[in-house]
Structure 1
């Protein structure tokens, strides 16, 4: 069961991609801008996590649902996918709320 959480994150990310593609919310509206926004967001939150770890605020929880792979001390591999999902979700919500209504 060590891949359950990662698999769930990948399923959710796939859903974000499908919604984005279907409604042209962010990447399918402007791929270059979306890639920049996504990378900046993920890097920002990774730095935030690293700062929290160094201050002793954040730590990696033990669970059998995670792979056990760490990309940095106290930062599991799944965190990278979670932060990507978080940023992509925010981008899609923004794209949905700012798109022009058809026929208006």
Structure 2
């Protein structure tokens, strides 16, 4: 049962990747830029968490669905995957909104241009 939360996070990241692949929203549109943005976002939120932990704002709750492994006091390993999912979800949503707006205004996407 200890792998449940991590498994669900990984499944969610996988679903985001499928959506990203289908519509070329983030990593599948520009892998270098996406990697850089993801790393910056992940580092920012990890520093944010560490700051909150250092100020005694954030605490780690004990649940049976988590592994019980911590990277630092009150920083479970699942938090890294959650933050990665959060960053990925945000950028996929941004890409999706951009795609919808481009289609609504009749602008061609880069994919449509290469298919000509």
TM-score by length of 1: 0.96
**Greater relative contact order (CA < 8 Å, ≥ 6 in sequence):** 1
Q: Distance in 1 between matches of 2:18 and 2:104?
A: 20
Q: Size of the alignment, in residue pairs?
A: 104
Task: Name the SS of the counterpart of 1:22 in structure 2.
Answer: helix
Structure 1 equivalent of residue 103 of structure 2: 101
Unaligned runs of 5+ in 1: none
Greater Rg by CA: 2
Kindly indicate whether residue 18 of structure 2 is the aligned counterpart of residue 18 of structure 1. Answer: yes
Q: Distance in 1 between matches of 2:5 and 2:34?
A: 26
Structure 1 equivalent of residue 114 of structure 2: none
Q: CA RMSD, aligned part only?
A: 1.3
Structure 2 equivalent of residue 39 of structure 1: 39
Unaligned runs of 5+ in 2: 107-116
Deviations 1:66-86 (A, max 9, x none): 000111111000000000000
